[in-house]
Amino acid sequence: MSPKITEIITILDERSRLYERALALGSSIPTLDIEGINEALDERQRIMYITERLSKQQNELEHALALEPITAAEMGFLREQKARIRDFSPRFLEQEHRVNSILRTRMNAIRMKMATHNRSSSAILSYLRAPGAKPFV
């Protein structure tokens, strides 16, 4: 196998490993607290940055490889490896929708709590400003 094909396969393996890690992080989000969610989302963002960089590097190698003759077996092996990466896309998108839904639900719960606290503090302030109000002790 040519060195470029070996390097492309190495990149594809690394991308596959990183996508598995991102999916694992996404699966853990429902059980995490806010701090854990922030850390998981930051880590997923770092993984996406790395995979984007690897993808660009892979594309450059593939363009250079286009100028070299490769066997049908090598081409088939590369297609198989690329198909493995493509299989991550639907799973990743579905997980993104689930994570966004979870985050929206949590944000709505926080908004409701804030609204309740705001109403409570408004009621207390109104009471304290009313004529003849007795301060809490």
Per-residue pLDDT of the chain (137 residues; tens, 9 = 90+): 788 888 988 999 999 999 999 999 888 888 888 888 889 889 999 998 999 999 999 988 888 887 788 888 888 888 888 898 888 888 888 988 988 888 898 889 889 988 888 888 887 778 777 787 676 65
Cα atoms in the 13 Å half-sphere on the side-chain side of 40: 20
Domain assignment present for residue 134? The answer is no
Domain assignment present for residue 56? The answer is yes
Domain assignment present for residue 137? The answer is no
The total of structural domains in the chain comes to: 1
* pTM (2 d.p.): 0.70
Do 102 and 33 contact (CB within 8 A), yes or no? no
Domain that holds residue 8: 3-129
Q: What whole-number distance in Å separates Cα of residue 31 and Cα of residue 29?
A: 5
Q: What are the tokens at 101? A: 């839904």
Three-state SS at 69: coil
Angle between helix 72-86 and 3-28 (nearest 10): 10
Q: What whole-number distance in Å separates Cα of residue 115 and Cα of residue 94?
A: 32
With a CB cutoff of 8 Å and minimum separation 6, the contacts of 91 are: 23
Domain assignment present for residue 136? The answer is no
Domain assignment present for residue 40? The answer is yes
Domain assignment present for residue 135? The answer is no
Domain assignment present for residue 67? The answer is yes
